[in-house]
């Protein structure tokens, strides 16, 4: 088995690539960890973690996590560290590239952060994960959702999902559609096809 290729790139706060330039084309045995990278968001990027999950990516976040612990966890788990804190990039494992990392500029706003990360790694949208815990979503039949979904929702919605992680019941309602719109715009912008429309990130889906 060939060794895992290095990350396509990583930016320091000054914008200097600190690892390697992007591949001109994917290697033949394209490593899944590159196609579906996993992330660890710093304490300021909890909203971004939720939206990366909506975009289908595994994004960890721990409220109030200490910087040293964050760097260690990202390194141990092979996750790419996402941070808006320049100080984190001065830490030895990050500076030396042993912990893959990307500096997310401040003041981009949530949808801007999402566009930035999708664009930095050329990430396509994947089947959404639970925004709360990052769990995979399993499709349910209407009958399976019947006991829990509100009657009004059951009468107009056909597609329901259960989060494998936290058990939350979700459905493709108007809120889901707004989220999908934000994600599609972010993917377009990340691929250099920005449209005039900028839909603000709504709150995550909730059970009513
Ligand atoms: Zn969940």
Mapped onto helix, strand or coil, the DSSP state of residue 118 is helix
CA of 204 to the centre of ligand 1 (A): 11
CA of 129 to the centre of ligand 1 (A): 8
What's the burial of 155, exposed, middle or buried (CB within 10 Å: 0-12/13-18/19+)? exposed
Mean pLDDT on 162-173: 94
CA of 136 to the centre of ligand 1 (A): 8
Token pair for 20: 């390697």
- 169 phi, psi to nearest 5 deg: -95, 130
CA of 116 to the centre of ligand 1 (A): 25
Residues 6+ apart with CB under 8 A from 164: 130, 135, 136, 137, 138
CA of 56 to the centre of ligand 1 (A): 13
Torsion of CA 153, 161, 115, 13, to 10 degrees: 130
SS3 for 56-104 is CCCEEECCCCCHHHHHHHHHHHCCEEEECCHHHHHCHHHHCCCCCEEEC
CA distance 145 to 141: 7
Mean pLDDT on 176-195: 85
CA of 147 to the centre of ligand 1 (A): 19
| H or E segment and range at residue 48 | helix 46-54
Residue 204 has pLDDT above 60, yes or no: no
Beta bridge mates, 162: 138, 169
Token pair for 122: 């050329």
CA of 92 to the centre of ligand 1 (A): 34
CA of 122 to the centre of ligand 1 (A): 26
Token pair for 110: 């949530």
CA distance 80 to 59: 9
CA distance 149 to 61: 29
Condensed to tens digits (0 to 9), the pLDDT of residues 110-121 reads 989 999 999 999
CA of 130 to the centre of ligand 1 (A): 5
- Give pLDDT, residue 35: 57
Condensed to tens digits (0 to 9), the pLDDT of residues 29-50 reads 444 445 589 999 999 999 999 9
Mean pLDDT on 178-183: 92
Question: What are the E-state strand segments in the chain?
Answer: 39-41, 59-61, 80-83, 101-103, 137-140, 160-163, 169-171
Mapped onto helix, strand or coil, the DSSP state of residue 181 is helix
pTM tops 0.75, yes or no: yes
CA of 47 to the centre of ligand 1 (A): 15
């Amino acid at each position: 088995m060939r060794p895992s290729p290095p990350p396509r790139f990583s930016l320091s706060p000054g914008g200097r690539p600190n690892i390697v330039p992007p591949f001109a084309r994917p290697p033949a045995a394209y490593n899944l960890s590159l196609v579906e990278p996993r992330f660890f968001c710093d304490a300021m990027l909890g909203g971004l973690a939720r939206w990366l999950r909506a975009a289908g990516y595994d994004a960890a976040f721990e409220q109030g996590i200490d910087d040293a612990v964050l760097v260690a966890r990202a390194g141990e788990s092979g996750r790419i560290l996402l941070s808006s804190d320049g100080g984190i990039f001065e830490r030895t494992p990050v500076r030396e590239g042993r912990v893959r990392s990307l500096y997310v500029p401040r003041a981009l706003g949530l949808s801007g952060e999402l566009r930035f990360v999708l664009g930095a790694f050329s990430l396509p949208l994947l089947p959404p994960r639970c925004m709360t815990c990052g769990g995979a979503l399993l499709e349910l039949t209407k009958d399976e959702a019947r006991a829990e979904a509100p009657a009004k929702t059951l009468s107009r919605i056909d597609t329901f999902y259960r989060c494998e992680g936290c058990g939350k019941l979700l459905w493709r309602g108007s809120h889901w559609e707004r989220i999908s719109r934000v994600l599609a715009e972010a993917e377009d912008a990340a691929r250099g096809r920005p449209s005039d429309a900028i839909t603000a990130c709504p709150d995550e889906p909730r059970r009513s």
